[in-house]
Amino acid sequence: MPSAAGRAYDVLMLGYFGFGNLGDELLASASAGFLGECGVPAERVAILSNAPAGSEARIGVSAFDRWRLAAVASAIRSSRSLLLAGGGLFQDSSSAKSAMYYWGVVRIAAALSCPVWALGQSIGPLRCAVSSFFAKNALSCCRYLAVRDKPSFDIARGFGLFPDIMPDIVMGMRFPETGKSDGRRALINARPETGEGAAVLARAALACSSVGFSLVGIAFSEEDVRALEAIRDEKSVPLGEICLVASAGDFADVAKCASVSIGMRLHFAILSVKAGIMTSMWPYDPKVAAFADEWGLTLLNSDICEKNLSDFVIMTLLTNARFQDKKKGVEFGPLVAEHFKKGLSLVLGGSTRER
């Protein structure tokens, strides 16, 4: 294993970081926090980022430009391990470029004798053979692999790998107390959606509005703001405000008076569940469907538009509280921490210091 004496960092984190998406930024912050709990101080952690200065300011670790090959190679040479820190990195929903990029960085790490490990991963969808190759080849390099859902586990097993299953890393974060709320506020989250998801989301939001809920748009990125504005303007959904949330604390503040959440993004669902809000999701991606199934959340589909369901029937779907008793009392922080400890032990020999 690489010597601590010769390398400045114990862990170099890689993910979709520095792009202004709250879900991914929470993964980075939470990962740095868990590494700290496991004995890896911030000065021994680095990150590859689209916006290095912003990541340094937000997370408090050294950051390198993910698009500059020289910077990537320098960061890897300076690190004892490369951690794929959560997210859906190996997928081709829009193109194979994502899978190709992360495969490339993993191969550079392998060439520079920097061991790779991966936590809280979603794998897929992988619609073309080249994406599957990139995913299989890269993940096969991992000394430790933990995925966050059963569909990803099945794909990894199909690759001949033997991953663990763990909660999403953000599930392990300490979440600000919001208190119980029976407030008549519904949180609406949208992402860019070219299919029928926007229409389904709009119909569900209108049902909430018709029975007296005030609607608040929750954006995790600037592109979410534009998606919510389109739903408001094109679908006549009366969003009272659109909040671009920048932290879990921001979300908790808005959630204090909410009792219903309707959305698309996985980490919107995760934060809503952590806040104890009844949550319904449009499953734009298998990871969202898997999380909803695990927690008993309502999965929205085109029936609420095509079958002309009444507002009452739609509200019955949206206030399905099956998830309230799911894993009641389970502390996810220690569960997530155990996977960090296991991974560190396998890549660094159980210590962050040279013996």
Measure the CA dihedral 355/117/70/92, to 10°: 180
Segment 302-309 mean pLDDT:
88
Which uninterrupted H or E stretch holds 194? none
Give tens-digit pLDDT for 1-59: 665 668 999 999 999 999 999 999 999 999 999 999 999 999 999 999 999 999 999 99
The residue behind tokens 């998606």 is 227
Lowest-pLDDT choice from 13-22, 72-81, 188-197: 188-197
Q: 11-166+333-348, what's its fold?
A: Rossmann fold (3.40.50)
Percent of the chain with pLDDT over 70: 92
In the predicted model, is pLDDT for residue 329 greater than 60? no
In the predicted model, is pLDDT for residue 322 greater than 80? no
Beta bridge partners of 280: 262, 298
The residue behind tokens 């912003």 is 54
Same fold, 11-166+333-348 and 185-320: yes
Angle (CA) 256-120-216 rounded to 5° is: 25
CB 84 within 8 A of CB 117: yes
Rg (CA), the chain: 21
Which CATH number does the domain 185-320 belong to among 3.40.50.300, 3.40.50.2300, 3.40.50.2000, 3.90.870.10? 3.40.50.2000
How far apart (Å, rounded) are the C-alpha atoms in residues 42 and 242? Answer: 34
Domain ranges of the chain: 11-166+333-348, 185-320
